[in-house]
């Protein structure tokens, strides 16, 4: 399988190295590329992730646009079999629902071939997860893409509260990724 993993700016992004290791353990032959948002990169060290790694700088390299150069947000959508976004923040979900494409990851999502699956593992504060706007955004992306939602779970959240919003367990995400 060729997998594109999107990592957004939730505290759950600190689990990215463990998630990548679990994906590799489940499918040793997986070809894996990680696109991390700038906020996602804040929570882990690049050297801890055993995968090809992309950031906004790969989409918009210094020196400017060159005619005929690769277009990474298109090329990766053609290359990958599946897209996993874990963790998925309320902000990135909103961008997806509204067609915003100002980051490498959101550009890739907007250009994603709609016949290919996307697995999302939301992670956010309970009030954000239960907000009607989040519900609307989730419904919108389900209408556009082949989305499998790995729902957040009840847990201790970074804000110091306990509630629904913690990213699902890694083994649950890996199982959802492997499902057809």
Give catalytic residue positions: 159
Q: Comparing C-alpha atoms, which of 90, 74, 176, 177 is closest to residue 141? A: 90
Q: Comparing C-alpha atoms, which of 69, 77, 84 is closest to residue 101? A: 77
What distance in Å separates the CA atoms of residue 50 and residue 73, rounded to the nearest whole number? 21
| Max Cα–Cα distance, the chain, nearest Å | 51
Sort residue 3 into left (φ over 0), alpha (ψ -120 to 50) or beta.
Answer: beta
Tokens describing residue 104: 């490498």
CB 149 within 8 A of CB 134: no
Counts for the chain of helices (H) and strands (E), in that order: 9, 8
Residue 71 CB partners (closer than 8 Å, separation 6+): none
């Amino acid at each position: 399988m060729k997998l594109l993993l999107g990592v957004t700016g939730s505290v759950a992004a600190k689990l990215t190295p463990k998630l990548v290791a679990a994906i590799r353990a489940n499918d040793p032959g997986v070809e894996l590329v990680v696109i991390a948002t700038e906020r996602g990169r804040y929570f882990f060290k690049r050297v801890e992730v055993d995968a090809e790694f992309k950031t906004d700088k790969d989409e918009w390299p210094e020196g400017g646009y060159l005619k005929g150069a690769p277009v990474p947000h298109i090329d990766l959508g053609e290359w990958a079999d599946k897209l996993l976004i874990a963790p998925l923040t309320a902000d990135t979900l909103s961008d997806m629902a509204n067609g915003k494409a100002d980051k490498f990851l959101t550009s890739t999502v907007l250009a994603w071939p709609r016949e290919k699956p996307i697995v999302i593992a939301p992670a956010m504060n309970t009030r954000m997860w239960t907000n009607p706007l989040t519900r609307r955004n989730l419904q919108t992306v389900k209408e556009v893409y082949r989305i499998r939602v790995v729902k957040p779970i009840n847990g201790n959240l970074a804000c110091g509260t306990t509630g629904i919003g913690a990213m699902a367990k890694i083994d649950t995400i890996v199982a959802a990724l492997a499902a057809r």
